[in-house]
Amino acid sequence: MAQKHEKALVSENVVVSHQTVFEGFVAMVLEKFDGNNARRDAFVASLGNHGFGLLEGVKMKIQLNNEGEKVLHIDFDSFEKEGIPPFSFHEDIPWNIVEHIAKLPDPLDEKQTEE
C-alpha cells in the first residue's frame, strides 16, 4: 500500500520480466547516463554474458531527489563470479533519460521498419 512520505508518495511494487529485459534496460541507462560505453560494458561483463543469476536482480525506485526532481534510483550489485569482476551501480537517473529510453522505437515493430 502507498504511504505518505516526507518528499514523495512511496509505493512498494515488484516487477518481474523475462530475462534480458531489465539487463538491457540497465545497459541502456548506463550508456545514456554516462554518455559512453565503458560502464555499460563493465556491467554486461559482470553478468558473464548470461544475464542476471538466479539470486541477482536490480532494484529500481521512482522517487524525488533532494531538489524535488523525479528520478529513477537504481541499485545493482553483481555477485563475484569466477574470473569475472563484480560490478556495482547506485545512482539517481534523471527522469528525462528514462523518458528518452521509453520513447525509442521498437526495432521489431514492423510498422516502424516499413516506413
Give a yes or no: residue 3 inside a domain: no
Q: How confident is the model at residue 5 (pLDDT cuts 50, 70, 90)?
A: very low
pLDDT at residue 73, as a whole number: 93
Name which residue leads in pLDDT, 96 or 109: 96
- Which long-range contacts does 23-31 make (Cβ < 8 Å, 24+ apart)? 23/47, 23/51, 23/52, 25/101, 26/58, 26/74, 26/76, 26/89, 28/101, 29/72, 29/74, 29/93, 29/97, 29/98, 29/101, 30/89
Give a yes or no: residue 27 inside a domain: yes
Q: What is the pLDDT of residues 10-32, one digit of tens each?
A: 556 666 666 677 888 899 999 99
Give a yes or no: residue 7 inside a domain: no
- 69: containing domain: 12-104
- Model pTM? 0.72
Name which residue leads in pLDDT, 54 or 23: 23
If one counts the domains in the chain, the total is 1
Give a yes or no: residue 2 inside a domain: no
pLDDT at residue 18, as a whole number: 60
Give a yes or no: residue 24 inside a domain: yes
The answer to whether 56 touches 31, Cβ cutoff 8 Å, is: no
Give a yes or no: residue 1 inside a domain: no
Q: What is the mean pLDDT of the chain?
A: 80
Give a yes or no: residue 6 inside a domain: no
Q: What is the pLDDT of residues 27-51, one digit of tens each?
A: 999 999 988 899 999 998 888 877 8
Give a yes or no: residue 111 inside a domain: no
